[in-house]
Amino acid sequence: MKEIHKPVMVDEVLRFMALKPGQVVIDATAGLGGHTKAIWERVAPDGIVIAVEKDLESLRFARERVEGDGVVFIHESYTNLGKITEFLGIKGKVDAILFDLGISSYLLEHSGRGFSFKQDEYLDMRFNPEEGLPADHYINRMTAPQLEHIFRNYGEIRFARSIAESIVKHRKRQRIKTTGMLNEIVLNSVPGIYRRNQKLKKKLLAQVYQALRIQVNKELESIATGLVEGLKVLKEEGRMVVISYHSLEDRLVKQLKKMRGVEALLKKPLTPGNDELSYNPRSRSARLRAYKKMGELNEEDIDHFTRLEWDNIGHNRPRFAYAVGKG
Ligand SMILES: C[S@@+](CC[C@H](N)C(=O)[O-])C[C@H]1O[C@@H](n2cnc3c(N)ncnc32)[C@H](O)[C@@H]1O
């Protein structure tokens, strides 16, 4: 299972969570339990780790991997941390929380849910396939301006309009149901260099898939709600560590420092060291930020944060100053 997903920045996570035996800790994105295991080893034998995960298959792997009397596995969304901790009687008593955002290698490569452009699969992309609507629905139902909006804002894609228009044109003939079909449409609606140059091709497709995944799972809204729920259930002086994997996530996480009652423990995010990059190249986009709860949170700040109204969130700035001709 180790090969399926290697946990990212484990030493840094443990250091900033400042864990001690006997503490109550939440792993809000348990995935395959990599961080859960490391956290449990620090708080065992009398501590408690609440491992929350939206994807049931991942949670089953985590349960097999992590052995510990004090680890509780919960198939839920981190947006419900308030309810979860209330039910367990630990609301306001949590010492530390980890959010490892993004997606696991397992979901990308082995779930069969169309998260990756590398396999030909049905376009589902839901973390919990029992909730919400699959990517297939959005791709075949959204208007061209709506699709353009998500590609531009959630994928930061230059060719957002062209891709959106091609999708709408294509689906009049045939419903777009698979990653293979989507890849072909996307690559045929951008300049030829994106088909010929492997690096550009991969980057573009990864951005398209990122945008759709954010839309399908309402990821930015969920992250904002989850982070606030996390702060609320922490005790005073409790720690929150967040690892993000793309600029939209990081821009959002960064805004936590503006909240009253929250102290940022790092001025700049930490990134993986060379050692980690060599054995886990997937960690290359990781950015770790850490916060401490200093006191009461302010309702106005929370409202502002969860409505994603802080500057820059979802704002697209073109990355290239030059134009690429079609060819
Ligand atoms: C990067 S992976 C976590 C990997 C994990 N730390 C490990 O070491 O195996 C992110 C996980 O967050 C989960 N996730 C996404 N949205 C969620 C939500 N709203 N609530 C709980 N889990 C969520 C995904 O299903 C995925 O398994």
Q: Which of 54, 56, 84, 228 to mutate to test the pocket of ligand 1 (most atoms within 8 A of CB)?
A: 54
32 lines ligand 1 (CB under 6 A): yes
Strands 262-264 and 287-293 come out as: antiparallel
Average pLDDT, stretch 264-274?
97
Note the pLDDT tens digit of each residue in 163-196.
999 999 999 999 999 999 999 999 999 999 999 9
Nearest-angstrom CA–CA distance, 140 and 134: 10
Confidence of residue 308 (pLDDT cuts 50, 70, 90): confident
Average per-residue pLDDT for the chain: 93
Ligand 1 atom closest to 226 (CA): 19
What does the longest C-alpha to C-alpha distance in the chain come to? 64
Is 90 exceeded by the pLDDT of residue 202? yes
Q: Mean of the pLDDT values across residues 104-112?
A: 95
Break the chain into its structural domains and give their ranges. 10-105+219-306, 128-216
Hey, what amino acid is at 48? Answer: I
Closest by CA position to 177, among listed 132, 138, 131 = 138
CA distance 150 to 208: 9
What is the number of the ligand 1 atom nearest to the C-alpha of 31?
27
Q: Which of 52, 53, 61, 115 to mutate to test the pocket of ligand 1 (most atoms within 8 A of CB)?
A: 53
Q: Ligand 1 pocket, 33 CB below 6 A?
A: yes
Q: For the segment 77-87, what is each residue's pLDDT rounded down to a tens digit?
A: 999 999 999 99
For CA atoms 195, 200, 206, 207, the dihedral sign is negative
Q: Is the CB of 100 under 6 A from ligand 1?
A: yes
Across the range 122-145, mean pLDDT stands at: 97
* Pocket lining: 229 vs ligand 1, CB cutoff 6 Å: no
CATH number of 10-105+219-306: 3.40.50.150
Instruction: Kindly report, residue by residue over 16-45, the tens digit of the pLDDT.
Output: 999 999 999 999 999 999 999 999 999 999
- Band (pLDDT 50/70/90 cuts) for residue 156 is very high
Distance in angstroms (rounded) separating the CA atoms of residues 122 and 53: 23
Q: So what's the pLDDT on residue 322?
A: 26
CATH of 128-216, one of 1.10.3720.10, 3.40.50.300, 1.25.40.10, 1.10.150.170: 1.10.150.170
For the Cβ of 77 lying below 6 angstroms from any atom of ligand 1, the answer is yes
At how many degrees (to 10) do helices 144-155 and 198-216 cross? 110
Q: Give the distance (Å) from ligand 1 centre to CA of residue 40.
A: 17
| pLDDT for position 216 | 97
Closest CA to ligand 1's atom 18: 77
Q: Taking 90 as the threshold, does the pLDDT of residue 154 lie above it? A: yes
Query: Which atom of ligand 1 is found nearest the CA of 243?
Result: 1
User: Given this model, what pLDDT does residue 326 score?
Assistant: 29
Determine the pLDDT at residue 315.
45
H or E element at residue 291: strand 287-293
Cβ of 176 closer than 6 Å to ligand 1, yes or no, is no
DSSP 8-state assignment for residue 277 = H
Nearest CA to ligand 1 atom 3: 31
Task: Confirm or reject: Cβ of 36 under 6 Å from ligand 1.
Answer: no
* Residue 68 token pair: 């510990």
Nearest ligand 1 atom, CA 98? 6
For residue 40, give Cα distances in angstroms to 67, 117, 118, 180: 9, 35, 34, 41
The yes-or-no verdict on residue 309 having pLDDT over 80 is: no
Instruction: Quote the CA–CA distance of 198 and 295 in Å, as a whole number.
Output: 50
* pLDDT value of position 261: 97
Q: For ligand 1, is residue 54 a contact (CB within 6 Å)?
A: yes
Residue 127 Cβ inside 6 Å of ligand 1? The answer reads yes
- Tell whether ligand 1 has an atom less than 6 A from the beta carbon of residue 79: yes
Min mean pLDDT across 115-124, 261-270, 298-307 is at 298-307
φ and ψ at residue 160, rounded to 5 degrees:
-55, -45
Tell me which residue has tokens 């090969």: 3
The pLDDT value given to residue 3: 58
Q: Which of 25, 84, 104 to mutate to test the pocket of ligand 1 (most atoms within 8 A of CB)?
A: 104
Question: Residue 321: its pLDDT value, please?
Answer: 27
